[in-house]
Amino acid sequence: LLQTAYNGSTSQVRIHDEVSEEFPIMTGVRQGDVVSPLLFNIVIDAIMRKAFKGRRGVQASTD
* pLDDT tens sequence across 4-38: 877 888 889 999 999 999 999 888 777 778 888 88
**Is residue 62 one of the residues assigned to a domain?**
no
**Is residue 56 one of the residues assigned to a domain?**
no
Instruction: Classify 21 as helix, strand or coil.
Output: coil
**Is residue 12 one of the residues assigned to a domain?**
yes
What are the angstrom distances between the C-alpha of 18 and each of 3, 30, 31?
A: 31, 22, 21
Alpha-carbon distance 6 to 55, whole Å?
37
Query: Into how many domains does the chain fold?
Result: 1
What is the reported pLDDT for 12? 93
**pTM attached to this predicted model:** 0.48
What is the reported pLDDT for 63? 67
Quickly count: other Cβ atoms within 10 Å of residue 36's Cβ: 13
**Is residue 60 one of the residues assigned to a domain?**
no
Query: Which structural domain, as residue segments, surrounds residue 6?
Result: 2-51
